[in-house]
Amino acid sequence: MIKDWKHLFELKKTDVLGLDIGSCAVKMVALHKSDTGYTTTAAGITEIAASEDDNQRRTNTVQAVRKCFESARIKTKLVVCGVSGQEVAVRNFDFPSLLPEEIVSAVSLEASQVCPFSAADSAVDYNLIANDDNKTSGVLVAATNSLIKSKTQLAKEAHLNCILMDVDGFALLNCFNSLEDGQEDSQTHRTVAILNVGGSHTTLAIMDNNGWPFVRDMTYAGNDIVAQIAAENDTPTETVRGILSGDSVADEAGLGDSLEKACHKLITDVGETLRYYTAQSASLNVEKLFVCGGFALAGGFVELLNRRLGVEVVLWNPFDKICHNANREYEDIYAKTGPAMAVAVGLAMRSI
């Protein structure tokens, strides 16, 4: 079961390890918070060996978690994991004023009506958000029990203790808000969004000025883009990954047109979601998009989004706003793979 989704918007009280188990890599981050802000005490990233067999892929994932933990030399075994994808639902609710004892049943009923999966086979939780109206408003979160069990079991098999299950989109928002608070975009009240493009899922997360979150997970992501480029050029997928993750941009490798074609669906999905958000909310148009995730590092990808989406698009590395300890062995991780670790950073900021 999810042990604590009542603290979706709270930050940490006890140091924990942020563990982001993706489809292609495992990311870990340990932070320490003081009066002056956050300091990274350890970080690690380990690729998951590819396999077509489900059982072997799971074994490879556990091995990657163990290897990442050992290489990062992190002391705590208390971890916060995240979930995303089609087995997770995030929805706002707005009820007439309810008594405290009436809220749980009302949220459960709402979840059964809005979740695209069986709420009876899911963990459901909520967070109330204050408003000026005489209403009970907030955000509900639901995730299938099978997804939660899978993530917690992966951590357990790697000899780690998952004490809290978060939502990737909320982890991104908490990370961004805590690091960017008081910066230019906060001061000018511009509406910004975070786009996390991983291997199997793409997450778009937005927080308006009133504290209302908007999170949407899309199934089209980095693996699909790579597969389409590989098919069009009759090239092995690993070769395409190597080109996209190299120092040269896709254009220089002759993949520029293929990259743009393969990203068309993602760009369309993101554009439609941004327009839907603007139409459904009282917020201003999203004016700036911060891009992170493993595929955000692909050469020419952020530049392509900047040309096609009609909003300012920038690569976001959360480590740019976090102090680092004196250990230089992590510097390459911070500088080269920082955007891929945004979810892990947000998970490490959680409270227990």
**Per-residue tokens: 291:** 């891009």
> What confidence tens digit (pLDDT) does each residue in 39-62 have?
999 999 999 999 999 999 999 999
- State the burial class of residue 304 (Cβ atoms within 10 Å of its Cβ: 0-12, 13-18, 19+): buried
- Residues 47 and 236: their CA atoms lie apart, in Å, by 18
Q: pLDDT below 50 — which residues of the chain?
A: 1-12, 182, 184-187
| Secondary structure of the chain as H, E, C letters | CCCCCCCCCCCCCCCCEEEEECCCEEEEEEEEEECCEEEEEEEEEEECCCCCCHHHHHHHHHHHHHHHHHHHCCCCCEEEEEECCCCEEEEEEEEECCCHHHHHHHHHHHHHHHCCCCHHHEEEEEEECCCCCCEEEEEEEEEEHHHHHHHHHHHHHCCCEEEEEEEHHHHHHHHHHHHHCCCHHHHCCCCEEEEEECCCCEEEEEECCCCCEEEEEECCCHHHHHHHHHHHHCCCHHHHHHHHCCCCCHHHHCCHHHHHHHCHHHHHHHHHHHHHHHHHCCCCCCCEEEEECHHHHCCCHHHHHHHHCCCEEEECCHHHHCEECCCHHHHHHHHHHHHHHHHHHHHHCCCC
The whole model's pTM is what? Answer: 0.91
The predicted structure's pLDDT at residue 5: 41
Separation between Cα atoms, residue 173 and residue 297, nearest integer Å? 20
pLDDT for residue 11: 43
> Which CATH number is 17-229+259-348 given?
3.30.420.40
Distance separating alpha carbons of residues 20 and 175, to the nearest angstrom: 14
- The predicted structure's pLDDT at residue 313: 97
Distance CA 305, CA 293 (A): 14
What is the pLDDT at residue 209?
74
Q: How far apart are CA 249 and CA 299, in angstroms?
A: 4
Nearest CA to 204 among 159, 213, 212? Answer: 213
pLDDT of residue 251: 54
Where in the chain are the domains? 17-229+259-348
